[in-house]
Amino acid sequence: PLNIRPLWFSEIADFQSRFLVEKYPNVPNLGDMNNIPQMIKEGNVEIPDMLCGGTPCQAFSLAGWRNGINDDRGQLTLKYIDIVNAIDNKRLTQGNSRVVFFWENVEGALTDKTNAFGCFLSGLIGLKEPLVSPLGEIKNTKNKNGSITTIYPKWANAGVIYGKDRNIAWRVLDAKYFGLPQQRRRVYVLGGGK
């Protein structure tokens, strides 16, 4: 009803892949998202106007180990940036505007010990170094080998960044306020051009 046509999906789990085939038989599943930037560069997939998706939450979930980008699943958050950049490179070469992207994950992404959210935001806006939240804590401790600086990230539940390449905004929303009969807090990131 919104006149949105999916061009492709990226799913590796068996049940979810079968579900997509059942509901969207004419939409290709590209499988492992690690391969998508190269597929885009080679022109093997159609370039979207909007990229909508999330990356695995296990690396950030309060119920998990919370290893962030030190977890292979958490690394996919950074791969999402590669996909956005590959799409943008194609779109800009064709004279089009940057892709609009929408990403979601668990609220724990805002506080994981690897500052994955700071790395994610930084990559999306076009910076080389991770952003550090002004709400986070930096602690310096000394041991026999010298001084150690530890960053304890904590990002606000909502924010906007006007970046070098893109502007982005994020907000934590709870599904219980949108018709779902359970508490389900997620962080949503929306971005695109300037």
DSSP per-residue codes, 94-144? TTPPPPEEEEEEEGGGGS-TT-HHHHHHHHHHT-SSPP--TTSEEEEEEET
The question of whether 119 is a catalytic residue gets the answer: no
Where b means 16+ CB within 10 Å and e means fewer, 152-179 reads ebebeeeeebebebbbbebebbeeeeee
Cα torsion 97, 73, 104, 119: sign: negative
In the numeric block, the tokens 């929303």 are attached to 173
> Active site residue: 33, 36, 40, 57, which one?
57
Active site residues: 57
